[in-house]
Chains A and B, each alone.
Chain A
Amino acid sequence: MLAPALRRLSVAELEQSASAVLGAAVDYRDALPPDARQADFSRNIGQSVDSLTLRQLYDATRTASASVTLDRVVFPGCAARAQPSDAACQHETVATLAQLAFRRAPSEAELTRLLALFNTGAEGGTFRDGVQLVLRALLGSPQLLYESTLGDGPPQAGAVRLSQSELASALSYGISGTPPDAELLAAAAAGELTSGSERQKQATRLLGRAETLQLLQRFVEEWLGLEQLPQLAKASSVVSGFPALSRAMQQETRSFVGDALGSGGGDLTTLFAGGYSLVPDELAPIYGIQPVAAGTRVSLRGVSRVGLLQQSSFLSVFAHESESAPVLRGKAVLVRVLCRSVPQPQELGINVVPPAPDPQSTTRARFERHVSDPLCATCHSQLDPVGFTFENFDAIGRLRATDMGQAVDTHGSISLDGASLELADSVALADAIAHSEELRSCAARQVVRFASGRSDPAAEAAFVEETAHLPASWRGTLLGLFLSYVNSDGFAWRSAP
Chain B
Amino acid sequence: MSRSPAVSRRFALTALGAGAAWALGLSEQRPVRAASSGPRNFIGIYMPHGMARELWVPKPGFDISYTDSVLSPFDDAVGFGQSFREQITTLEGLDLSTGMAAGTVGHDGSRVLLTGSGGNGRNASIDQFLALEQGLGQGLPLSSLVLGVGAAGPALGTCISYAKGGSALPKIIDPEQTFQQCFAQWLVGNDPAALAQAAAERKRGKSLLDYWRVEIAALAARAPESERDKLEQHANALRELEQRLDGGLAACTPPTAPDPSQFPSLQAYQGGEPYFDTVTNLQIDLLAQAMACGVTRVATLFLSDLTRTHFDPQLPEDVHIDVAHRYDSKGRAGGGGNPSTWQALGRQNRYTYSKIARLMQRLSERDLLRDSVIVAMSDMGDPARHSSRQIPTLLAGGWGGLLKGGRHIDLGATGTPNNRLLVSIQQAFGVNSDSFGQSSDPSLLSGSLDLT
Interface residues of A (CB under 8 A from B): 3-6, 8, 30, 33-37, 46-55, 58, 113-114, 117, 120-121, 133, 136-137, 140-143, 146, 148, 150, 230-233, 235-236, 243, 320-322, 343-347, 351-354, 356, 497
Contacts and interface: CB of A to CB of B under 8 A. Distances in A.
A150 B384 CA distance: 46
Interface string B372-412: 00000000001011111000000000000000000000000
Interface string B233-251: 1101110110010000000
A140 B388 contact: no
A236 B384 CA distance: 23
Interface string B282-325: 00000000000000000000000001100000000110010001
B215 A141 contact: yes
B317 A235 contact: yes
Nearest to A229: B269
26 contacts: A5-B226, A6-B227, A33-B152, A33-B154, A35-B154, A37-B153, A48-B163, A50-B167, A51-B144, A51-B241, A52-B181, A53-B237, A55-B240, A55-B241, A133-B204, A137-B212, A231-B268, A243-B271, A320-B321, A322-B318, A346-B100, A346-B387, A347-B105, A351-B387, A354-B384, A497-B224
A303 B237 CA distance: 54
Contact of B170 (A52, A233, A343): A52
B224 A36 contact: no
Contacts of B307: 233
B224 A4 contact: yes
B87 interface: no
A48 B106 CA distance: 26
B233 A142 contact: no
A50 B308 contact: no
B169 A50 contact: yes
Most central of A36, A49, A143, A343 by chain B CB within 10 Å: A49
A247 to B, nearest CB: 11
Contacts of B105: 344, 346-347
B252 interface: no
B38 to A, nearest CB: 25
B216 interface: yes
B363 interface: no
B288 to A, nearest CB: 19
A150 B233 contact: no
B154 A233 contact: no
Contact of A352 (B168, B172, B241, B385): B385
B173 to A, nearest CB: 10
A122 B205 CA distance: 14
Given A6-B230, A142-B219, A353 B384 contact: yes
B139 interface: no
B433 interface: no
B122 to A, nearest CB: 11
B212 A142 contact: yes
Contacts of A322: 318, 321
B255 to A, nearest CB: 19
A346 B167 contact: no
B222 interface: yes
Contacts, number: 164
Contact of B219 (A6, A36, A320, A321): A6
B198 interface: no
Contacts of A34: 152-154, 170
A113 B155 contact: no
Nearest to B131: A51
A36 B168 contact: yes
Given A6-B219, A117-B208, A48 B224 contact: no
Given A49-B237, A55-B181, A141-B212, A230 B163 contact: no
B214 interface: yes
Nearest to A349: B100
B230 A351 contact: no
A120 B203 contact: yes
Among B212, B267, B308, the most chain A Cβ lie within 10 Å of the Cβ of: B212
A320 B181 CA distance: 37
Contact of A137 (B211, B237, B244, B385): B211
B142, B165, B269, B321: residue with the most chain A Cβ atoms closer than 10 Å: B269
Contacts of A3: 224, 226
B222 A150 contact: yes
Interface centre among B156, B169, B172, by most chain A C-beta atoms within 10 angstroms, is B169
B315 to A, nearest CB: 14
A497 B325 CA distance: 48
B103 interface: yes
A233 B153 CA distance: 17
Interface string B18-54: 0000000000000000000000000000000000000
Residue picked from B100, B170, B233, most chain A C-beta under 10 Å: B170
B270 interface: yes
A233 B308 contact: yes
A33 B168 CA distance: 12
Contacts of A50: 163, 167, 169-170, 233, 237
A497 B205 CA distance: 35
A466 to B, nearest CB: 25
Contacts of A351: 382, 385, 387
Contacts of A142: 212, 215-216, 219, 231, 234
A5 B237 contact: no
Given A235-B317, A356-B326, A48 B165 contact: yes
A53 B241 CA distance: 11
Contacts of B386: 345-346, 352
A236 B106 contact: no
Contact of A36 (B144, B154, B203): B154
Contact of B167 (A5, A48, A133): A48
Identify the 7 closest CB pairs spanning chains A and B, nearest first.
Answer: A33-B170, A346-B105, A54-B237, A34-B153, A36-B154, A351-B385, A51-B237
A288 to B, nearest CB: 27
B354 interface: no
A51 B212 contact: no
Nearest to A144: B215
A120 B211 CA distance: 12
Given A37-B155, A46-B166, A113-B214, A232 B223 contact: no
Given A50-B169, A141-B212, A235-B317, A150 B223 contact: yes
B171 to A, nearest CB: 8
Contacts of A231: 267-270
